[in-house]
């Protein structure tokens, strides 16, 4: 039986100003799963990811990781979190130092750390940016740099908050391909997003949060994303392909452009 990468039980959190972000949330994710947390702005996605990353203390409930009984702090070599605002993750003088930071904290030797930085810089097209201060980078560049920094520890569990916000089309493929490679190698991925179109590209399971931070649906991507009424009810637009096929009263809507092309060709043949 697969090990659980994380188990959150009865998780609650409120901000000091009285905002109740999460109230009694339960979530179990198996090792190797690719899960999207989908919900409108303010649903509590970022709050949930920061709690799962151990960056905030829950008001109630608990999170356990890899069935180890250890805290997220004790598992810094296995868990990485990339926050919604990438600058929150980039606090060194240069991008290179940010990429070296994680491996240095884990005591990885300098030579191996340098190899990792070079490989990540090439993978995320950061070579020309390594000596720049992170705050001088564009939004999309910062996001790629923060993701590369998170991956520098080679985590088993990556918690990723809106991974392609601000990223242009070409680099979006770069990011998605990089995530595919990691998940194919066994990494567990949890991605938060308000964008249903992104979900089929990063996940096979989707957890939908409503505005009150409650889970209103948890299931396979196809089942959940073809339920347009449920998504609209929580304030999320259904994927554009689903919307188009449903409005045209065509059943079994495609979730990817490749599938859509195939369906349209089949229709053309009829
Ligand atoms: N530091 C904070 N202080 C007070 N309220 C906050 C703070 N951060 C977030 N919130 C509130 O908590 C709720 C959940 O926010 P967040 O987790 O950022 O949602 P999401 O990521 O789904 O857009 C929102 O109502 C937001 O306004
Ligand atoms: Mg957020």
Min mean pLDDT across 89-93, 192-196, 203-207 is at 89-93
pLDDT in tens, 26-78: 999 999 999 999 999 999 999 999 999 999 999 999 999 999 989 999 999 99
Asked if 192 and 22 count as a contact pair (C-beta separation under 8 A), the reply is no
Q: Rounded to an integer, what distance in angstroms lies between the CA atom of residue 174 and that of residue 159? A: 18
pLDDT for 1: 67
Based on its alpha-carbon atoms, the radius of gyration of the chain, rounded to whole angstroms, reads 19
Average pLDDT, rounded, for the chain: 95
Q: Rounded to an integer, what distance in angstroms lies between the CA atom of residue 174 and that of residue 83? A: 19
The structure tokens 């990353």 sit at 53
pLDDT in tens, 213-268: 999 999 999 999 999 999 999 999 999 999 999 999 998 999 999 999 999 998 87
Ligand 2 center to residue 26 CA distance, Å?
19
Ligand 1 — pocket residues by CB below 6 A?
15, 17, 19, 21, 39, 41-47
Residue 166, pLDDT above cutoff 90: no
Q: Which of 16, 21, 207 to mutate to test the pocket of ligand 1 (most atoms within 8 A of CB)?
A: 21
Ligand 1 center to residue 14 CA distance, Å?
9
Total-model pTM = 0.96
pLDDT in tens, 107-116: 999 999 999 9
| 3-class DSSP assignment, residue 207 | strand
Please list the alpha-helical segments (H only) found in the chain: 45-52, 95-105, 110-123, 139-151, 169-184, 199-202, 221-225, 228-234, 240-247, 257-269
Residue 121, pLDDT above cutoff 70: yes
**What's the average model confidence in pLDDT over 124-144?**
95
> Which residue's alpha carbon is nearest to atom 3 within ligand 1?
15
Q: Rounded to an integer, what distance in angstroms lies between the CA atom of residue 114 and that of residue 116? A: 5
Q: What is the position in ligand 1's atom list of the atom closest to the CA of 209? A: 22
């Amino acid at each position: 039986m697969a090990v659980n990468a994380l188990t959150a039980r009865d998780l609650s959190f409120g901000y000091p100003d009285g905002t109740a972000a999460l109230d009694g949330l339960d979530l179990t994710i198996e090792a190797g799963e690719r899960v999207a947390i989908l919900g409108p702005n303010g649903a509590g996605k970022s709050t949930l990811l920061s709690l799962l990353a151990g960056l905030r203390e829950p008001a109630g409930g608990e999170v356990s990781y890899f069935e180890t009984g250890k805290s997220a702090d004790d598992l810094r070599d296995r868990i990485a979190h990339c926050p919604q605002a990438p600058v929150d993750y980039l606090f060194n003088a240069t991008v290179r130092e940010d990429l070296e930071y994680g491996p240095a904290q884990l005591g990885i030797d300098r030579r191996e750390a340098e190899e990792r930085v070079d490989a990540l810089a090439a993978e995320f097209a950061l070579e020309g940016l390594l000596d720049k201060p992170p705050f001088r980078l564009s939004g999309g560049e910062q996001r790629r740099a923060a993701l590369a920094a998170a991956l520098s520890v080679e985590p088993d569990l990556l918690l990723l908050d809106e991974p392609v916000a601000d990223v242009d089309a070409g680099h979006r493929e770069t990011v998605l391909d990089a995530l595919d490679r990691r998940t194919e190698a066994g990494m567990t991925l949890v991605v938060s997003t308000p964008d249903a179109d992104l979900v089929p590209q990063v996940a096979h399971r989707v957890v939908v949060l409503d505005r009150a931070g409650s889970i209103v649906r948890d299931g396979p991507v196809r089942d959940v994303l073809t339920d347009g009424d449920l998504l609209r009810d929580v304030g999320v637009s259904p994927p554009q392909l689903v919307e188009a096929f449903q409005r045209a009263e065509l059943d079994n809507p495609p979730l990817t452009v490749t599938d859509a092309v195939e369906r349209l060709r089949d229709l053309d043949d009829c």
